[in-house]
């Protein structure tokens, strides 16, 4: 949250999508928690469940998934009729509204684009939970309509090459990528990497500092004799 608010390219971003390489990497968890963080800081936020194949956002907020994106895009319901309001102070949710038979058709349709355009006017931040990018093209369809993307990765769950391929698809879209969130890193493992990083940093610092001091000593007193 802090990183998004501080970066020049993301601090004014209004509409962002979250995706992952494969299912089960915590993208819906990341979407919900980022949205909650902005809502807690007083911004008016909405989460859209853009995963019309396997929607899960509604479960996290204990909502029904009987109306939502599918109904709005088809013209059956208005946004006001489909949005679940104030699931948390300053936070609304637009569920998927079921599972779509043809998600690609809906996401490519004018109705989805108009819906996003209207939500941009109503909210300070719009977060869209989208399907895994290695499995289907839904996220790539939505990308041109958003200001940037966030990549969710679950530690040791996905092969490195698969994650790199998925990340490259986001980067090559020419839509800004605001970074990645690493999930599933337990305290013992994260502590190890933290220690390794800082151990190397301190070693590098003191080695450089020692080398500079030796050079200064040589200039003032001449090389030390062994």
Predicted TM-score of the model (pTM): 0.78
**Taking 70 as the threshold, does the pLDDT of residue 9 lie above it?**
no
Task: For residue 139, name the pLDDT band (cuts at 50, 70, 90).
Answer: very high
Parallel/antiparallel/unpaired status of strands 125-129 and 45-49: parallel
Burial class from Cβ neighbours inside 10 Å (0-12, 13-18, 19+) for residue 6 reads exposed
Average pLDDT over residues 161-179: 87
Helix and strand numbers, DSSP H then E, in the chain = 10, 7
Res 168: pLDDT: 87
Do residues 18 and 127 make contact, with C-beta atoms less than 8 angstroms apart?
A: yes
Q: Quote the pLDDT of residue 219.
A: 60
Question: pLDDT of 64-115, one tens digit each?
Answer: 999 999 999 999 999 999 999 999 999 999 999 999 999 999 999 999 999 9
d(CA 189, CA 195): 10
Determine which of 59-63, 106-110, 144-148, 199-203 has the lowest per-residue pLDDT on average: 199-203
What is the arithmetic mean of pLDDT over 1-21? 73
Higher local confidence (pLDDT), 64 or 7: 64
Sheet strands side by side (includes 148-154): 84-88, 91-94, 45-49, 125-129, 15-20, 148-154, 177-183
pLDDT at position 218 is: 57
Residue 39 pLDDT? 95
Per-residue model confidence as pLDDT tens digits over 37-75: 999 999 999 999 999 999 999 999 999 999 999 999 999
């Amino acid at each position: 949250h802090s990183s998004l608010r501080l970066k020049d390219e993301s601090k004014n971003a209004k509409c962002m999508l979250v995706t992952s390489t494969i299912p089960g990497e915590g993208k819906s968890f990341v979407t919900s928690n980022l949205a909650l963080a902005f809502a807690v800081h007083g911004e008016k936020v909405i989460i859209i469940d853009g995963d019309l194949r396997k929607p899960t956002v509604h479960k996290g907020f204990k909502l029904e998934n009987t109306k939502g994106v599918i109904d709005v895009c088809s013209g059956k319901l208005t946004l006001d009729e489909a949005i679940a309001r104030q699931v948390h102070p300053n936070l609304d949710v637009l569920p998927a509204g079921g599972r779509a038979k043809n998600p690609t058709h809906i996401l490519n349709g004018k109705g989805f684009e108009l819906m996003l355009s209207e939500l941009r006017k109503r909210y300070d931040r719009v977060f869209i939970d989208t399907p895994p990018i290695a499995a289907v093209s839904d996220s790539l369809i939505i990308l041109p309509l958003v200001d940037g993307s966030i990549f969710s990765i679950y530690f040791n769950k996905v092969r490195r090459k698969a994650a790199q391929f998925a990340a490259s698809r986001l980067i090559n879209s020419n839509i800004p990528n605001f970074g990645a969130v690493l999930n599933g890193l337990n305290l013992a493992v994260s502590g190890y990497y933290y220690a390794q990083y800082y151990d190397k940093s301190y070693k590098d610092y003191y080695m450089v500092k020692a080398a500079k001091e030796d050079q200064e000593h040589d200039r003032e007193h001449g090389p030390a004799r062994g």
